[in-house]
Amino acid sequence: MIEALTDLTQLAPDELLLCAGAILVAAIVRGFAGFALSALIMASIVTLIPPVELIPVCFLLEATASLMMFRGGMKEADMRIVWGLVIGSIIGSPIGLYATTTLPIDTSRLIALILLITLAALQLFKVRIPFLATRPGLYISGVTSGIATGLASIGGMVVALYVLSQDKTARTMRASLVMFLFLGMFTSTVYLLLYGVLDMTAAWRSLVFSPAVIAGVLIGSWLFRPSLEGFYKRFCLILLLSLAIVSLMRTL
């Protein structure tokens, strides 16, 4: 059984187990927080699977998680916020991709991460940013997310930061993040197909690891209960800060 899985995934048995464990933990966080599956997978197993091979695997696993969480997300999300962020992100992505060819990538990533860390820290210490609650703030956040995706692949973190800044219930914030990622799945499909990075190895790896994602999302969703909703925003902000700091250290 293990030999068959190693052949399909092109991973050694110990690498296979490490990847499955990391993906399970990432999926638990995704089930609870509504985001961060890809970011945690990239942070934990990028040394085992090269980024160019890991991106399509993350996409397919994100699709699995999004489909599992779609029903609750559709029912509880603030779709005005979701559509504003999606539209802005679609506009911003080509700008970010163009800027990638004209600006130093490491410098751009460094600026984006420092800005993200600063804003997340301000929210964590309950410093309000009134502009984010306005309609222009919504669309500018979406465009910024798209640009950040093109420049530094951290657009999802920008969106999470915006959603967490709203005066909404934990359930609505989580559902809005779920729906943004679900809708973003379709634009990501076009991008991956255009660049030809979706191959059979990625498909087999995502199929092998999908049970870990399914189990993790179910556990995380179970943990998202009324008694823990009060900790939701603080948990997500600390998670964002941690991911941004790890990315910043790698950039430096």
pLDDT of 214 over the 90 cut? yes
pLDDT of 112 over the 90 cut? no
- Is residue 54 within 8 Å of 128, Cβ to Cβ? no
- Is residue 120 within 8 Å of 161, Cβ to Cβ? yes
Q: Say how far apart CA 117 and CA 109 lie, in whole Å.
A: 12
pLDDT of 211 over the 80 cut? yes
> What confidence tier does 191 reach under pLDDT thresholds 50, 70, 90?
low
10: DSSP letter: T
pLDDT of 169 over the 70 cut? yes
Q: How do the domains of the chain map onto residue ranges? A: 2-251
Q: Which of 220, 218, 84, 106 is nearest to 152 (CA)?
A: 106
Full-model pTM: 0.82
Greater model confidence, 117 or 82: 82
